[in-house]
Amino acid sequence: MAFALQVRGLTKSFPGVLANDHIDLDVEEGEIHGILGENGAGKSVLMSVIYGLYRPDEGKILVRGQEVAIGSPSQAIRCGIGMVHQNLTLVPQLRVFENIILGQEPRRGIFLERQKARRRIEELLHQTGLSIDLNARVRDLPIGLQQRVEILKMLYRGASILIFDEPTTVLTPQEVDQLITYLLALKKQGKTIIFISHKLREVFALCDRVTVLRRGKKVGTCAIKEATPESLAEMMVGRRVLFELPRGRKPAEEVVFSVEGVSTLPEKGKALREVSFRVHRYEILGIAGVEGNGQTELAETIVGLRRVRQGKLVLNGEDITYLSVKERIKRGLAHIPEDRHRRGAILDFTVMENLMLGFEDEPPLRRGLLTLHFPTLQEFASSLIREFEIATPGGDTLVRTLSGGNQQKVVLARELSHPVSVLLACQPTRGLDVAATEYLHRKLLELKNQGKAVVLISADLDEIRALSDRVLVLYEGRIIGELSPESDEYQFGLLMGGKSLAS
């Protein structure tokens, strides 16, 4: 078998972290090769080294048997290696066409040969079966299509080895299905693909072989045919992972939090229309729905970032409709935001600073009129780091350098560090590895079994059904139905598509 890409003894360290420790990797020509591993295992670093973003401390890279020195992404592209990053790198103001040729404009003299470029792209579209409007502005496209532009850009540059670093974390389930179809089509044309994901379902649907990393070391490579979800999870984590957790006790009668006929104005997004629900003690209430149907708006309304036009929010019997964000936090409303980089954690703050965020202005963290009390802070931070098993060199490490799962743990730890009565968890396991997902699910169930109420908003139907006691479906800013988690997928599909069950 010919190898498209080989890595030998690759080592890369950062201050205090050995991110890649003598890694060997063999990717066969024309296969889809999965890279699996926990958050922080070193997958992204390995890919960044291959793509020339980081220089390795040791080791070599071979492309089709030839040793190559890759010092920059442009050299990687010359070797036929392309990468789609988790955070897309397109220019939003430009058109699709312009984005694709950006940096590689064909020219004659000083003139752009637009027609020639266009023909080549159309040819590409035809070959790959991808379809997209070349004249659309990138900022107007949904994220799934933007990703498609990124793929085209890579193909246009002649990449034959394509690296995808967690391409599916930003996609809706429908977009994921489409991506899988395209990737299989690309494989059929002989492209070699490296695919990183935490979702075993996707890995089984796509990959031929997978390589598992753990704490910077390679655990092994195996053919997907010989693997099971359990065996892969065990390889990644080093112990058995439970995909199904015992749900615990039944909800109590007592209502902790209720939303009563809430409507909002359609400023920046969907308006909520007469949304009502109650969450009880010992209950996890799931809110399902296709993304973009008001989930973000509902969360922002509950947190206090969006004005309510009509209706009210009641927490522990108290009307909190007009209370500030701060007052709501004080009354025990905790929140895991859907986008942890935009709303959850400050990347350029340290772990400690992120943990204290929102609690800094009250004793015991504040002593005296203005002063922060550092011994207490450090104690507070290190006890949370221990309790939530956040993998970080210390409290004064920047959150930017933590892996995704650990960034999420920082947010979770902060939200649960103070007495909680209701937790609003939005897409809480997006981008988390199997172990961190299991951990987070455990925490949610633990909270529920302590008598708290949890509102779980998620696009991942499996997650919703595994955890919730009841499920509401959100469609076009309205709750259009309630299901039990045992209802079959068909019923969920109908409701999520906007067809109410009664009619």
Partner 1 sequence: MLRRARRFLEFPFLPEVVAILTAFLLGLLVLFFTGYPPLRAFSALFRGAFGSRNAFGQTLTQATPILFTSLSFLLSFRAGIFNIGIEGQLLMGAFVAALLGTMIRSLPLPLHLPLALLGGGLGGALWALIPALIKTYLGAHEVITTMMMSYIASYLTSYFVNYPFKAPGWVAQTNPVQPTALLPRILPPTQLSLAFPLALVFSVLVFYFLFRTYLGFQVRAVGLNPEVAENRGISVASRQILAFLLSGFVAGIGGAGEVLGVHGKFVDGFSPGYGWDGIAVSLVGRLHPLGCILASLLFGMLRAGGMTMARVTKVPLDLSLIIQALVILLIAAPRLIRIFILRKRGL
Ligand X SMILES: Nc1ncnc2c1ncn2[C@@H]1O[C@H](COP(=O)(O)OP(=O)(O)OP(=O)(O)O)[C@@H](O)[C@H]1O
Q: Strand, coil or helix: what is 223? A: strand
Q: Is 477 in the site for ligand X (CB under 6 A)?
A: no
What residues does 28 pair with on adjacent strands?
3
How far apart are CB 17 and ligand X at their closest, in Å?
Answer: 5
CA–CA dist 29, 187 (Å, integer): 10
Stretch that binds Mg ion, among 41-49, 136-144, 187-195, 233-241 (CB under 5 A): 41-49
Q: Strand, coil or helix: what is 47? A: helix
- What is the total residue count of the chain? 503
The residue assigned the tokens 């070349």 is 134
CA–CA dist 256, 417 (Å, integer): 19
Indicate which single residue of 100, 334, 402, 474 sits in contact with ligand X (rule: CB under 6 A). 402
Cβ atoms within 10 Å of 225's Cβ, excluding its own: 8
Q: Which does 45 bind (CB under 5 to 8 A by kind): Mg ion, partner 1, ligand X, none?
A: ligand X
Residue nearest to Mg ion (CB): 44
* Dihedral of alpha carbons 172, 433, 468, 454, sign: negative
Indicate which single residue of 39, 168, 264, 427 sits in contact with ligand X (rule: CB under 6 A). 39
Which contiguous run of DSSP H or E holds residue 238? none
Contacts of 324 (CB under 8 A, 6+ apart): 304
Q: Is 34 in the site for ligand X (CB under 6 A)?
A: no
Q: Which does 324 bind (CB under 5 to 8 A by kind): ligand X, Mg ion, partner 1, none?
A: partner 1
Instruction: For residue 307, give the DSSP letter.
Output: -
Q: Is-contact 24 9, C-beta < 8 A?
A: yes
How far apart are CB 465 and partner 1 at their closest, in Å?
Answer: 28
Cβ atoms within 10 Å of 452's Cβ, excluding its own: 24
How far apart are CB 342 and partner 1 at their closest, in Å?
Answer: 6
Q: Which does 308 bind (CB under 5 to 8 A by kind): partner 1, Mg ion, ligand X, none?
A: none
Residue 44 or 258: the one with the smaller Cβ distance to Mg ion is 44
How far apart are CB 89 and ligand X at their closest, in Å?
Answer: 17
Q: Is-contact 218 212, C-beta < 8 A?
A: yes
Stretch that binds Mg ion, among 40-48, 254-262, 386-394, 485-493 (CB under 5 A): 40-48
CA–CA dist 268, 152 (Å, integer): 30
CA dihedral angle for residue 87, residue 92, residue 96, residue 99, rounded to 10 degrees: -70
How far apart are CB 344 and ligand X at their closest, in Å?
Answer: 14
Q: Which does 353 bind (CB under 5 to 8 A by kind): ligand X, partner 1, Mg ion, none?
A: partner 1
CA–CA dist 421, 284 (Å, integer): 12
Q: Is 168 in the site for Mg ion (CB under 5 A)?
A: no
Residue 240 or 342: the one with the smaller Cβ distance to partner 1 is 342
Q: Is 354 in the site for ligand X (CB under 6 A)?
A: no
**For 438, phi and psi rounded to 5 degrees?**
-60, -40
CA–CA dist 260, 317 (Å, integer): 12
Q: Is-contact 196 34, C-beta < 8 A?
A: yes
Q: Which residues bind partner 1 (CB under 8 A)?
A: 303, 305, 324-329, 335, 337, 342-349, 353, 356-358, 360-361, 365-366, 370-372, 374
Instruction: For residue 399, give the DSSP letter.
Output: G
Indicate which single residue of 10, 33, 44, 162 sits in contact with ligand X (rule: CB under 6 A). 44
- Within residues 420-459, the interface with ligand X by CB under 6 A covers 433
Indicate which single residue of 7, 25, 45, 84 sits in contact with ligand X (rule: CB under 6 A). 45
Q: Is 458 in the site for Mg ion (CB under 5 A)?
A: no
- Within residues 236-295, the interface with ligand X by CB under 6 A covers none
Q: Is 197 in the site for Mg ion (CB under 5 A)?
A: no
Q: Is 43 in the site for ligand X (CB under 6 A)?
A: yes
Binding mask 256-295 for Mg ion (x = CB under 5 A): ----------------------------------------
Q: Which does 40 bind (CB under 5 to 8 A by kind): ligand X, Mg ion, partner 1, none?
A: ligand X
Binding mask 43-62 for Mg ion (x = CB under 5 A): -x------------------
Residue 181 or 324: the one with the smaller Cβ distance to partner 1 is 324
Q: Is 37 in the site for ligand X (CB under 6 A)?
A: yes
Cβ atoms within 10 Å of 251's Cβ, excluding its own: 17
Q: In b/e form, how buried is each residue of 273-290, taking b as 16+ CB within 10 angstroms?
A: bebebebbbbbbbbbbbb
Q: Is 178 in the site for ligand X (CB under 6 A)?
A: no
Q: Is-contact 494 462, C-beta < 8 A?
A: no
How far apart are CB 44 and Mg ion at their closest, in Å?
Answer: 3
Indicate which single residue of 34, 286, 294, 404 sits in contact with ligand X (rule: CB under 6 A). 404
Position 121: which residue type?
A: I
Q: Is-contact 30 193, C-beta < 8 A?
A: no
Q: Which does 366 bind (CB under 5 to 8 A by kind): Mg ion, ligand X, partner 1, none?
A: partner 1
Helix (DSSP H) and strand (DSSP E) numbers for the chain: 16, 24
Indicate which single residue of 350, 403, 437, 458 sits in contact with ligand X (rule: CB under 6 A). 403
Q: Is 52 in the site for ligand X (CB under 6 A)?
A: no
Residue 196 or 262: the one with the smaller Cβ distance to Mg ion is 196
Contacts of 146 (CB under 8 A, 6+ apart): 88, 90, 138
- What tokens appear for 484 in the block? 């039990």
What is the binding site for ligand X (CB under 6 A)? 14, 17, 19, 37, 39-45, 401-405, 433
What is the binding site for Mg ion (CB under 5 A)? 44
